[in-house]
Structure 1
């Protein structure tokens, strides 16, 4: 969601003062219709977003196959950091899924349920004329829906993880196994498998009938 400014009060002079900006990360489960809103003291880079996804996966996901959909934002979603996190989450550990699909929907032609959730929060915000603390935003979000309410997830600083060690195990391959150049910024679908932890499957389309290509991102070759 767009940044939420704190405080919000009736006097306009506060606009020109230094303010605290809060970030709201929403994860919407298309199966249950339940949306979780993540709150914590952090930035909104790929490591922070990936850490929230890991927390969600560890806490709420109990399926073998997990499908993740996001926009194509390069700095947050389509990059080596989030790719390394998805690779890590398929390795046998405290995560249930053994196959992860990550689909990037087409910019300007897609509408996420999260967009509707954020719009609901924006509408509810109009009822709160004075917001003094970040916790006041929790009140706004939790009261935005009367049924199937948004679930607030407060994560601690230790829940945010660095991907430095994961990235050290991977290399940014320029050619796929078919010896053809990999155009990373055109990828629309990524797939990760526990049985092949250093192989990434991808395609430049969200069409299920299109075949996957593959690329080995391990730095150590057999």
Structure 2
């Protein structure tokens, strides 16, 4: 649609020659070659002149005077305009923004390589009111209005606002701080070394992301042969989740959410439990993996696992013993467990967590128990639902018997040092189930190195991971302070659900009778 302005005037035919209104202006807009008569307000809206009606009045004045052309725009053409913003004031805004700490995005680094981010609790208005004005006073520099500050921020910078702690890697932040350290400015060798280490870390992260893509593609092309999954623990859910003001200042129970994403079907699975039912250590993660395999009933021969290399979740000896047992008992012919670079990769299960967090933020549900969290997640996106499994305490198994059947070696079979925490992949094959194969790079050109984890002595039993004993025989007690805060929220809990919270109190009282039964709870921050 093409907009074209045409203003015509008509002399008024009146009996008396004395009149305040000698002409009438009409407003036209050209649409597809045709002039359409519109009202004055519509003309203003079409051209965005609601706040600049003086410009139209000047045109009307020139038409009354018989001028055929409109005057040239002379805004900013005066020799010494009094309202012009000085270059010094603009440079002060630039210096202020440059001094604010920024964070690089690793999740979108390939799409937006030059974009950086401020902390999530900042905004342009808060920066202006709380920091910029004080900065100008300290520097004795000229100030600009908030509107001009916003224009400079949007036009001259490529900065966003986000939550940095879930997006950056602390090692990269340390590199960035050291590179900008004034004491190292004159030391080119140190800066060059830091930049090389940072670039190597980024290259390793990119290789890890490419590895995730390749494993997912391989499983999609051969679903009968490969099963590729990604798992991780999401941030804990506070329970109960109430809208009452006193609830904001009280400690609450944690609901743990363990996510497993099937990279072949692109289906998300979450397994939830409460902190009074189980902890969130390696035995609990292994129990969730067993539960998933029972539900999935996959007939694939090779299992590929993608997870972070945190000791409490995937990269630990309990998980190694479980994977060895799954191969040794014939559940899979081979298992490969890959550990992408922490803080730099986009694990598939992270997308499921993002959907859940967005759903909770938009809906803002009131949640009383862990079962309510199950209901909330089940209501998410009916077109692509997430499978939700509520773990019972009897579902958590003790992996200690499996771990006792292996020897925790610190040397490869060739005598070189086995760096457990630096490994990028573990592998077990059915032909050599007692030999742990290890990689330290994501490239396919590096061969696996072997570690014989066979335990010396008499032969151990061939434990079936699906038939291990329970880990817990009674509810886990809650610490006194947290339990006191939770019980103080009872006036806001429906009567039908108070029995569950009262049972927590009874469990605590029973545990106090025998101090040796008290278990320390580990929390996820």
190-199 or 26-35: bigger deviation:
190-199
When residues 207 and 20 of structure 1 are mapped into structure 2, their CA distance, relative to the original with a 3 A threshold, is: same
Q: In structure 1, the residue corresponding to 2:434 is in which secondary structure?
A: strand
Q: 1:118: Cα distance to partner?
A: 0.7
CA distance in structure 2 between the partners assigned to 1:156 and 1:138 by the alignment? 13
User: Which of residues 233, 244, 252 is equivalent to 1:11?
Assistant: 244
Query: Number of matched residues?
Result: 220
- For residue 48 of structure 2, what is the aligned residue in structure 1? none
CA distance in structure 1 between the partners assigned to 2:422 and 2:364 by the alignment? 42
Q: In structure 1, the residue corresponding to 2:385 is in which secondary structure?
A: coil
Q: 1:32: Cα distance to partner?
A: 0.4
CA distance in structure 2 between the partners assigned to 1:89 and 1:58 by the alignment? 12
User: Which of residues 407, 410, 422 is equivalent to 1:186?
Assistant: 422
Structure 1 residues 91-138: Cα deviation after superposition (integer angstroms, max 9, x where no partner) = 225x3x120000001112201121111111111112034111211111
CA distance in structure 1 between the partners assigned to 2:396 and 2:430 by the alignment? 23
**Structure (1 or 2) with the larger CA radius of gyration:** 2
CA distance in structure 2 between the partners assigned to 1:57 and 1:9 by the alignment? 35
Structure 1 residues 32-61: Cα deviation after superposition (integer angstroms, max 9, x where no partner) = 001111123321111100111122223312
* Larger RCO (CA within 8 A; separation ≥ 6): 1
1:92 aligned to 2:329? yes
Q: Which has the higher strand share?
A: 1
CA distance in structure 1 between the partners assigned to 2:394 and 2:256 by the alignment? 18
CA distance in structure 2 between the partners assigned to 1:167 and 1:139 by the alignment? 36
Point out where structure 2 has 5 or more consecutive residues left out of the alignment: 1-233, 459-525
CA distance in structure 1 between the partners assigned to 2:410 and 2:420 by the alignment? 9
181-190 or 56-65: bigger deviation:
56-65
CA distance in structure 1 between the partners assigned to 2:457 and 2:422 by the alignment? 26
- For residue 316 of structure 2, what is the aligned residue in structure 1? 79
Q: 1:88: Cα distance to partner?
A: 0.9
Structure 1 residues 167-213: Cα deviation after superposition (integer angstroms, max 9, x where no partner) = 11111111111111101111000001222221100110122221000
Point out where structure 1 has 5 or more consecutive residues left out of the alignment: none
Q: Which has the higher helix share?
A: 2
CA distance in structure 2 between the partners assigned to 1:114 and 1:141 by the alignment? 15
- For residue 65 of structure 1, what is the aligned residue in structure 2? 302
User: Which of residues 203, 207, 213 is equivalent to 2:443?
Assistant: 207
CA distance in structure 2 between the partners assigned to 1:117 and 1:59 by the alignment? 19
- For residue 160 of structure 1, what is the aligned residue in structure 2? 396
CA distance in structure 2 between the partners assigned to 1:12 and 1:218 by the alignment? 57
Q: 1:12: Cα distance to partner?
A: 2.4
Structure 1 residues 9-51: Cα deviation after superposition (integer angstroms, max 9, x where no partner) = 1222123334211011110000000111112332111110011
Is residue 92–residue 194 contact of structure 1 (8 Å, CA) maintained in 2? no
Structure 1 residues 61-84: Cα deviation after superposition (integer angstroms, max 9, x where no partner) = 220001000011122211111111
CA distance in structure 1 between the partners assigned to 2:454 and 2:267 by the alignment? 37
CA distance in structure 2 between the partners assigned to 1:205 and 1:50 by the alignment? 25
Q: 1:148: Cα distance to partner?
A: 2.0
1:218 aligned to 2:454? yes
User: Which of residues 34, 45, 51 is equivalent to 2:287?
Assistant: 51
1:21 aligned to 2:258? no
- For residue 340 of structure 2, what is the aligned residue in structure 1? 105
CA distance in structure 2 between the partners assigned to 1:57 and 1:51 by the alignment? 10
When residues 196 and 158 of structure 1 are mapped into structure 2, their CA distance, relative to the original with a 3 A threshold, is: farther
Q: In structure 1, the residue corresponding to 2:389 is in which secondary structure?
A: strand
Q: Scaled by the length of structure 2, what TM-score is found?
A: 0.41
Q: 1:163: Cα distance to partner?
A: 1.6
Q: In structure 2, the residue corresponding to 1:24 is in which secondary structure?
A: strand
CA distance in structure 2 between the partners assigned to 1:195 and 1:4 by the alignment? 43
- For residue 272 of structure 2, what is the aligned residue in structure 1? 39
CA distance in structure 2 between the partners assigned to 1:106 and 1:46 by the alignment? 20
Q: Scaled by the length of structure 1, what TM-score is found?
A: 0.93
When residues 129 and 35 of structure 1 are mapped into structure 2, their CA distance, relative to the original with a 3 A threshold, is: closer
Q: 1:221: Cα distance to partner?
A: 6.8
